[in-house]
Amino acid sequence: MSSSAFMGGLRGRSLTLAQLALVVCPAYVLFGYNQSNLGGLVSLSDWVARFPCIDTATTTTGAQNSDNATIQGVVIASFTLGALPGCLSCSYTSEKLGRRPVIFLGSAFQLAQLVIGRSILGVGVGMLSGTVPTWQSECSSSKNRGKHIFKTGPVTWRPPVALPCFLSLVLMLSIFFMPESPRWLAPQNRFGEAQNSLSALKALSINSPKVTAEIASIEASLEQTANSAAGLRDLFSMGEGRLLYLFSICILLQFYQQMAGGNLISVYSTVIFQDGLNLGAQTSRILSGGTLTRKLISCFMSFFTIDRLGRRFAFMVSGTGMAACMMGLAIATSFPHSNYAAQMISVLFIFMFNFFLPIGANFLYLPRNFVVTMITPVAIRPIGYKYYIVYTCIGFCIPFSI
């Protein structure tokens, strides 16, 4: 029997590239873009006019500025609160419904509407974050899993907020033309469909020995784990599988990713440049776009570091580099804002931080840390350079604990 095909005849490498371009990349861009896009918009004049109660950049001072900073933190961090139930729900929904339906479901002018919209958006992106990596890894062969203009008015912020709608539409229209995960189909006793998916992904006939062998391997694995499947309670006990230890490592890595400053720079780079370094609004947004672009490009470093250097060494290099950058940022920002050299050195350390962050590739695609997103607008002005010392200390814990 000939190989099955998807997306109008695609199979093998072509099908894999289509998966990456139409599902995986839009999902990852939605995750990063929605996390960071509001941080760069909060100082725009029309944004401030539309949402005056989260204005911290113009005429507000004292207690009013502090209150506005708190509300601003809640609005931006509401995305993370929505991502939490969205991601946690995947442990049930992706097993019950399948990977593709959950990915489909993951892809909604006043302040209250903004908060609700961010929360709903967070739910959807959380579902994507919890399911897309699983679907992609299950549809990949083992050797590839490790890699795998300035105006005013509403036009300055409405298009950036609406842009994710296009990516969501691409994802929604594409996912059901893609193969379902063979490792999800097999436990549902849908071995014929699992065989079809594997044959298309490998560009082999359905009766190919390689396809037959992998299906047999999946079946054997299911039989072996049928009577010993771990439940939620097992995550909090050591037992033979040491699940508590492994679970704690996952939590620790996520804690380090956030509390070493990853979310701080991703979400609030514009605020850091403008409020922390006293740079102009336009300059701050240009630099913010530059540092996030640097982060995107640096992500490709992990393709080469993870398998060549090993996971632990990559984490240690990443943690040490991030901590050193935060220490440099704390020192440089302790000088008066009028010190131009200190301003430029601070900018350099922010750019360097986004070079070191992706090297460790400690992205398990769990929801981002709400605390960092919430407190940064409140803390960035009152305590200034001391705020970065917290991230410096935590960052230096990474190489020692890893």
- List, for residues 48-82, the tens digit of each pLDDT value: 777 777 777 656 666 777 777 777 777 777 767 77
State the pLDDT at residue 320. Answer: 92
Query: How far from 64 is each of 53, 158, 168, 381, CA to CA, in Å?
Result: 9, 26, 37, 14
Q: Is the pLDDT of residue 349 over 80?
A: yes
Cβ(83)–Cβ(125) below 8 Å: yes
**Of 83 and 274, more confident:** 274
Fold match flag (1-223 vs 236-402): yes
Furthest C-alpha separation in the chain: 74
pLDDT digits (tens, 9 = 90+) for 285-296: 889 888 888 887
Cβ(7)–Cβ(201) below 8 Å: no
Query: How far from 45 is each of 65, 69, 158, 257, CA to CA, in Å?
Result: 16, 16, 13, 33
State the pLDDT at residue 35. Answer: 67
What pLDDT band is residue 326 in, cutting at 50, 70 and 90? very high
- Rounded distance between C-alpha atoms, residue 331 and residue 269, angstroms: 17
| Average pLDDT score over residue span 106-120 | 56
| Average pLDDT score over residue span 144-167 | 61
State the pLDDT at residue 15. Answer: 84
Q: Is the pLDDT of residue 150 over 80?
A: no
CATH class of 236-402: mainly alpha
Location of structure tokens 């299906």:
215
Q: Which of the residue ranges 123-127, 309-313, 390-394 would you say has the lowest mean pLDDT? A: 123-127
| Average pLDDT score over residue span 101-114 | 62
**Of 10 and 332, more confident:** 332
Domain regions of the chain by residue span: 1-223, 236-402
CB-facing half-sphere around the CA of 195: CA atoms within 13 A: 16
Residues above pLDDT 70, as percent of the chain: 74
pLDDT digits (tens, 9 = 90+) for 237-264: 777 777 788 888 878 887 887 788 887 8
Q: Is the pLDDT of residue 372 over 50?
A: yes
116: region left, alpha or beta (phi > 0 left; psi from -120 to 50 alpha): alpha
pLDDT digits (tens, 9 = 90+) for 30-49: 777 776 666 667 667 767 77
Q: Is the pLDDT of residue 4 over 70?
A: no
Average pLDDT, the chain: 76
Structure tokens at 204: 């082999």
| Average pLDDT score over residue span 11-29 | 82
Cβ(53)–Cβ(68) below 8 Å: yes
What pLDDT band is residue 108 in, cutting at 50, 70 and 90? very low
Question: What letter does residue 273 receive in the DSSP assignment?
Answer: I
Structure tokens at 291: 């540092």
Q: Per CATH, is 1-223 categorized as 1.20.1250.20?
A: yes
Residues above pLDDT 90, as percent of the chain: 6
